[in-house]
Amino acid sequence: MKNINPIPASWVTPESVYLSRRQWLKAMVAAGLLSSPTVRAAYTFNSQPNPAYGRGWKLTEAKHVLNYNNFYELGPKKTDPAENAHLLPLEPWSVRVEGECERPRTFTMEALLRFPIEQRIYRFRCVEGWSFVAPWDGFELRRLLQQVRPTSRAKFVVFESIYAPDRLPMQRLPLLSWPYTEGLRIDEAMHPLTLLAVGLYGRPLAGQNGAPIRLVVPWKYGFKSAKSIVRIRLVEKMPMTTWVKEAPHEYGFYANVNPDVPHPRWSQQRERPLGSWFKSRKTELFNGYGDQVAHLYRGMDLRKWF
Ligand SMILES: Nc1nc2c(c(=O)[nH]1)N[C@H]1C(S)=C(S)[C@@H](COP(=O)(O)O)O[C@H]1N2
Ligand SMILES: [Mo]
């Protein structure tokens, strides 16, 4: 990945320390003393729990959320991302925000960590049928967008994940069209539920969960929540996105969780909470966030705009 920012000294782990820690972990893994190391981005943050989200919900055990992932840049199997997380070049990191806005800007990780970070418990539902409940540490995407001042032509927001084929072998294969690209309508992006997450279970994001910064949009299927974001673009037209390009009759741009619109190859009525063997939970419209987001789709046919 090309990065035009100087390394912010305050959050970067000196390479020597990082390498020796990595080498130590590798030795531990080789010796069979650890199953797989959790590679985390090396920053710290202050996060205030926000009790308004997920009060009383039972959390999914962290080990499931950390070891059952979709992150095609790190491999196609659910266990690949945790195993290959060390391939992500995490330092230095920055996010370029540009397009239809008055103040395009590159945010260093240090600058991103100055947004008001809070911890929120959200439900998360993958289009493939699994789900979990976990505490994310992050800030509202709208705070960042407000800083760049979107113009009146900004109707959609595009999120681009890391593109580093030299580091990520999967990006040398036509597995998906790289970089992984997702998008939201501007009102969805400005919705207070939409987070840019930098942590999970109170710790910096692990590589497999999209370190160092990823989107979390809890009322939509998981694929909308792009990981390891390097670029955010404000645009006028609905963008082409990775999964829509891949299989347009299977995945729509909106991808709102909806038990009444089956995927062409399976029902979406039920879900399997990670840690359970069965589809023991009924899936809710908008993943249970209808009170907060249904108004965004008033008058839209959700079967057509799936
Ligand atoms: N860059 C990128 N982001 C991605 C993906 C991916 O393959 N690449 N997979 C998506 C899918 S399909 C899901 S379900 C979620 C999974 O997030 P998690 O592994 O943290 O649970 O990440 C989403 N974000
Ligand atoms: Mo997914």
For ligand 2, the distance from its centroid to the CA atom of residue 224, given in whole angstroms, is: 8
Q: pLDDT tens digits for 231-240? A: 999 999 999 9
Nearest-CA residue for atom 10 of ligand 1: 223
Task: Judge whether 203 lies within some domain.
Answer: yes
Indicate which ligand has the atom closest to the C-alpha of 65: 1
Q: What is the C-alpha to C-alpha distance for residues 231 and 228, in angstroms, rounded to an integer?
A: 10
At 288, give phi and psi (nearest 5°): 90, 0
At 181, give phi and psi (nearest 5°): -125, 130
Task: Judge whether 101 lies within some domain.
Answer: yes
What residues flank ligand 1, with Cβ below 6 Å? Answer: 69-73, 126, 161, 180, 209-210, 222-223, 225-228
For 17, 26, 116, 231, the CA distances from 31, given in Å and listed in that order, are 21, 8, 42, 39
pLDDT of amino acid 39: 87
**Assigned token pair, 199:** 């942590």
Q: pLDDT tens digits for 60-101? A: 999 999 999 999 999 999 999 999 999 999 999 999 999 999
Positions in the chain short of pLDDT 50 = 1-19, 32
pLDDT of amino acid 30: 53
Q: Which atom of ligand 1 is nearest to the CA of 221?
A: 14
Indicate which ligand has the atom closest to the C-alpha of 243: 1
Indicate which ligand has the atom closest to the C-alpha of 128: 2
For ligand 2, the distance from its centroid to the CA atom of residue 306, given in whole angstroms, is: 15
Task: Judge whether 239 lies within some domain.
Answer: yes
Q: Which atom of ligand 1 is nearest to the CA of 161?
A: 1
Q: What is the domain extent for residue 256?
A: 50-296
pLDDT of amino acid 41: 82
pLDDT of amino acid 21: 52
Task: Judge whether 192 lies within some domain.
Answer: yes
Nearest-CA residue for atom 6 of ligand 1: 71
Nearest-CA residue for atom 16 of ligand 1: 70
For ligand 1, the distance from its centroid to the CA atom of residue 119, given in whole angstroms, is: 20
Task: Judge whether 230 lies within some domain.
Answer: yes
pLDDT of amino acid 220: 99
pLDDT of amino acid 15: 39
Which residue has tokens 């959200």? 122
Can you spell out the DSSP letters for 190-212? TSTT-EEEEEETTEEPBGGGTTT
For ligand 2, the distance from its centroid to the CA atom of residue 83, given in whole angstroms, is: 18
For ligand 1, the distance from its centroid to the CA atom of residue 18, given in whole angstroms, is: 26
Q: Which atom of ligand 1 is nearest to the CA of 127?
A: 14
**Domains: count for the chain:** 1
With 0.85 as the threshold, say if the pTM is over it.
Answer: yes
Task: Judge whether 122 lies within some domain.
Answer: yes
Looking up residue 266, the CATH number of its domain turns out to be 3.90.420.10
pLDDT of amino acid 36: 61
Task: Judge whether 29 lies within some domain.
Answer: no
Q: How far apart are the first and last CA of the chain?
A: 33
pLDDT of amino acid 38: 82
